[in-house]
Amino acid sequence: MLLDATTFRSIVSGERRGIAATGWRGAFSLAELPYRAAVAWRNRQFDNGQRPAQRVEVPVISVGNLTVGGTGKTPMVEWLAKWFRGHGIRVVVISRGYGAQAGSRNDEALELEQKLPDVPHLQNPDRVAAAQTAIEEFDSELILLDDAFQHRRIHRDLNVVLIDALEPFGYGHLLPRGLLREPISALRRADVVVLTRADAVTVEVREQIQSQVQAWAGHAAWIEVAHQPVALRNHAGLEQTLDSLPGKRIAAFCGIGNPAGFRHSLASQGFDLVGLREFPDHHAFDRNDLESLGRWIQPLDVDAVICTHKDLVKIGAAKIDHRPLWALQIGMEILRGREALETQLRRLVETIQGGAPE
């Protein structure tokens, strides 16, 4: 029996009760043991130098996280790329390309291409090879690695780790019993820790999360950011203001790693949300999905449909069942720690302008 993403989360979080859920948690706990051992063995190889990280000729920044699912990496990569472009630095983004169909771009790449038209984006599981391509073919002065905290084969000059305030530590367990890719102790490798969606929780919760992080990464800069909706965008690239929909009946759907974050963003705008449908992360929407969504919204009698920009770039449709389809455009705002972050970034600019990586 295969579990969908929503059911899996409800089980590992403890939200779902009953004999079946308890049985799944027991099975996941057993499977967690070999996964933990494999992660520990791999990290030891890098820690003791048996598998040394390979340096490239330009500075490298990794943006990643500890957990599976969305923590807001794409807005962070976008912010960093724009910051360096604003300082005259040639940037290339490199990602693994997870979820991409053969010979095509994945959803994050499509999204970033629209938002960063002047920044090349390479997809390659071999990030060292991709970095060499970025340097030789695009004359890159700085590499931004998207979702690469666990990809330790390439040396990085700055490790930025994102933690989602709504689901900070993967329910305290490694995969598959929880959502952690590796233990929280891995935060020792972080140079910057960013609490995303910080505005979604109280100050007390933020302080609790920061205290847990500092137990392992007291040396790291602490940043808090909010992901705020800024506009609505359709497939044709037309935008409208957020105040055009409040009061109207809305249906929404998403295929992202953290649906709770999308739900929070919708709620923050006061939309009359009458239904939210969740798909697995990186879901490849096809004709059957769009027809299914059309049948789903018919009895809801909605005025419009909203998805994430990450979903819209894959769908390529302006309407679903004759209702306009809009993507919620999200912008990132730094609430706390901007000066500490920019101090780290300026150090890299000085390194680049000095002519050689540190």
Question: Considering the domain 229-331 in this protein, what is its CATH number?
Answer: 3.40.120
Are 183 and 100 within 8 A, CB to CB?
no
- Joined together, the tokens standing for residue 19 give 């004999």
Same CATH topology for 60-227+333-354 and 229-331: the answer is no
Cα angle: 147, vertex 50, 219; to 5 degrees: 50
**Cα–Cα distance measured from residue 60 to residue 62, given in angstroms and rounded to the nearest whole number:** 7
Handedness of CA 64, 281, 98, 79 (dihedral sign): negative
Give the CATH fold of the 60-227+333-354 domain: Rossmann fold (3.40.50)
Extents of the domains making up the chain: 5-47, 60-227+333-354, 229-331
* Closest to 179 measured CA to CA, from 164, 169, 166, 192: 169
- pLDDT in the model for residue 263: 87
Place of tokens 């295929």: 255
Q: What is the pLDDT of residues 110-139, one digit of tens each?
A: 788 888 999 999 999 999 999 999 999 999
Q: How many CB atoms lie within 10 A of CB 256?
A: 23
- β-strand 121-123 against 249-254: which pairing, if any? unpaired
Q: What is the pLDDT of residues 314-329, one digit of tens each?
A: 898 899 999 999 999 9
pLDDT < 70: residue spans in the chain: 1, 98-106, 355-358
**Cα–Cα distance measured from residue 192 to residue 190, given in angstroms and rounded to the nearest whole number:** 6
The three-state secondary structure class of 244 is helix
Q: What is the pLDDT of residues 56-98, one digit of tens each?
A: 999 999 999 999 877 889 899 999 999 999 999 999 999 987 6
Cα angle: 287, vertex 123, 326; to 5 degrees: 40
Q: Model pTM?
A: 0.88
